[in-house]
């Protein structure tokens, strides 16, 4: 997933490694804990959700609205 | 008479193949008309299929099953809305993540139910009318959901083009800045549109697991969510054409099944490719005439709305 690599060629390389790790981890979880393979998909989806949601913190700075009202 | 005997079952199966596409397509149409591109249709349909199936299996109540599915879809779509509308995440990436998530979640939820069966949704029967020789079985003896799908197309068409609320929704999709400047709540309208789209998509998914094949299998939508997305471009964002397109794609799906059954001397894999191949060909043909797309496509589709202070 290109977005996981932050749209950067080298980042995509590491994102690929991370994705591979989740597939392997999913299989290990299946072997050791009897979890279904489907958890891999759920986990990958959630990783992407959190990553995309985090962008709002990267791009924008929170400002207290009260302070702004007082100054303007 | 005997020469037409095969036609009735073919038409009946085309209707069952097309109905999920009609639901998913019409829901996504409203979403896209409000300027949001939700690529998570496939994931939402799967979650709807599994939640509808489990509810039907446990309670035996189909109305409840469809309601549960619609609720699950609205929740999934709300999640999409929080990410793309409130947190301003990229819509394409979020949609793909929603599909990944939905495929995994549905497989996880349905794990214990693989291979279970529910009795298929009852077909309506109207005294007298349903017993008519050919038209009776085609027109008057379908599942209630089939009639609902037609009703939804009519309602959405009326809503978008004949009501003020529909006009506002299209305004939000065509220019969110302009709509915002006259004081319409852009984000709230988009939330509603996205959630309506989610609910419709999962009702299509629930139809799959309750009527089309009354069972649950992992990844049972088999790309129907993506076809529904292509359908909207094919229909150039017009509700009536979504219906036509859904029946065309449904027809091709059934055609290849019948061709396989008839033992045509073509590899079955090639025949299974047909619906997807048709999708690509139709999209290429449609894209040739750019003006047709530009006239009807929501201008702000996929763009993130960030109110300027």
CA A53 to CA A55: how far, in whole Å? 5
Which are the contacts of B299, defined by CB distance < 8 A and separation ≥ 6? Answer: B35, B173, B174, B175
- CA-based nearest residue in chain A for residue B89: A52
CA A48 to CA A41: how far, in whole Å? 11
pLDDT at B127: 57
CA A12 to CA A23: how far, in whole Å? 16
Q: Is residue A2 part of a domain?
A: no
pLDDT at B309: 46
Interface confidence (ipTM) of the complex? 0.71
Counting as low any pLDDT under 50, the low residues of chain B are: 1-2, 309
The alpha-helical segments, DSSP class H, found in chain B are 7-33, 41-59, 62-81, 91-109, 135-139, 144-162, 164-174, 176-181, 186-207, 224-234, 239-261, 268-288, 290-296
| B297's tokens | 């496509």
Residue-range definition of the domain harbouring residue B133: 2-296
Q: Is residue B174 part of a domain?
A: yes
pLDDT at B241: 84
Give pLDDT tens digits for A34-51.
Answer: 667 777 778 888 888 888
- CA-based nearest residue in chain B for residue A2: B93
Alpha-carbon Rg of chain A, whole angstroms?
18
Q: Is residue B89 part of a domain?
A: yes
pLDDT at B295: 72
* Helix-helix angle B164-174:B144-162, to 10 degrees: 80
Structural domain tally of chain A?
1
pLDDT at A5: 64
End-to-end CA distance of chain A: 44
Q: Is residue A1 part of a domain?
A: no
Q: Is residue A18 part of a domain?
A: yes
Structural domain tally of chain B?
1
Give pLDDT tens digits for A4-39.
Answer: 666 677 777 888 888 888 888 877 877 777 667 777
pLDDT at B57: 80
Q: Is residue B301 part of a domain?
A: no
- CA-based nearest residue in chain A for residue B98: A45
CATH number for the domain that contains residue B58: 1.10.3470
pLDDT at B185: 84
Indicate the pTM of the whole model: 0.80
Q: Which residue matches tokens 């779509």?
A: B77
Q: Is residue A4 part of a domain?
A: no
Q: Is residue B197 part of a domain?
A: yes
Q: Is residue B87 part of a domain?
A: yes
pLDDT at B207: 85
The number of residues making up chain B comes to 309
C-alpha B11 chain-centroid distance: 20
Q: Is residue A63 part of a domain?
A: yes
pLDDT at B143: 73
Segment 69-98 of chain B within 8 Å of chain A by CB:
79, 82-83, 87-90, 93-94, 96-98
pLDDT at A4: 66
- The DSSP secondary-structure symbol of B141 reads S
Which are the contacts of B62, defined by CB distance < 8 A and separation ≥ 6? Answer: B56, B121, B122, B210
Within an 8 Å CB–CB cutoff, is residue B104 touching chain A? yes
Q: Which residue matches tokens 């996504």?
A: B28
Q: Is residue B223 part of a domain?
A: yes
Residue-range definition of the domain harbouring residue A44: 9-71
């Amino acid at each position: 997933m290109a977005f996981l690599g932050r749209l950067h060629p080298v980042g995509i390389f590491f994102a690929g490694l991370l994705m591979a790790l989740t597939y392997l981890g999913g299989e290990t979880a299946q072997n050791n804990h009897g979890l279904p393979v489907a958890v891999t998909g759920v986990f990958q989806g959630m990783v992407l959700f959190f990553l995309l949601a985090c962008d709002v913190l990267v791009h924008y700075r929170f400002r207290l609205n009260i302070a702004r009202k007082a100054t303007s | 008479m005997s020469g037409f005997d095969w036609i009735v079952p073919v038409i009946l199966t085309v209707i069952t193949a097309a109905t999920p596409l009609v639901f998913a397509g019409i829901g996504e149409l409203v979403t896209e008309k409000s300027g949001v591109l939700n690529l998570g249709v496939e994931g939402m349909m799967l979650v709807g299929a599994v939640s509808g199936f489990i509810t039907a299996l446990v309670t035996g109540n189909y109305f409840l099953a469809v309601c549960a599915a619609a609720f699950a879809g609205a929740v999934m779509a709300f999640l999409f809305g929080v990410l793309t509308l409130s947190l301003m995440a990229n819509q394409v990436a979020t949609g793909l993540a929603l599909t990944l998530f939905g495929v995994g979640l549905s497989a996880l939820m349905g794990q214990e139910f693989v291979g279970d069966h529910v009795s298929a949704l009852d077909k309506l029967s109207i005294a007298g009318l349903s017993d008519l020789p050919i038209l009776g079985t085609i027109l008057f003896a379908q599942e209630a959901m089939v009639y609902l799908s037609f009703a939804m197309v009519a309602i959405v068409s009326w809503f978008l083009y004949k009501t003020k609320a529909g006009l506002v929704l299209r305004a939000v999709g065509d220019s969110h800045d302009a709509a915002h400047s006259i004081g319409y709540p852009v984000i709230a309208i988009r939330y509603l549109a996205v959630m309506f789209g989610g609910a419709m998509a999962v009702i299509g998914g629930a139809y799959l697991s309750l009527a089309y094949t009354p069972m649950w299998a992992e990844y049972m939508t088999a790309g129907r969510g993506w076809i529904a997305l292509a359908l909207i471009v094919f229909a150039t964002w017009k509700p009536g054409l979504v219906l036509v397109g859904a029946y065309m794609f449904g027809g091709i799906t059934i055609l290849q099944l019948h061709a396989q059954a008839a033992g045509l001397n073509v590899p079955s894999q090639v025949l299974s490719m047909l619906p997807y191949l048709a999708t690509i060909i139709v999209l290429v043909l449609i894209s040739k005439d750019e003006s047709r797309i530009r006239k009807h496509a929501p201008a702000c589709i996929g763009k993130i709305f960030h109110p300027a202070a």
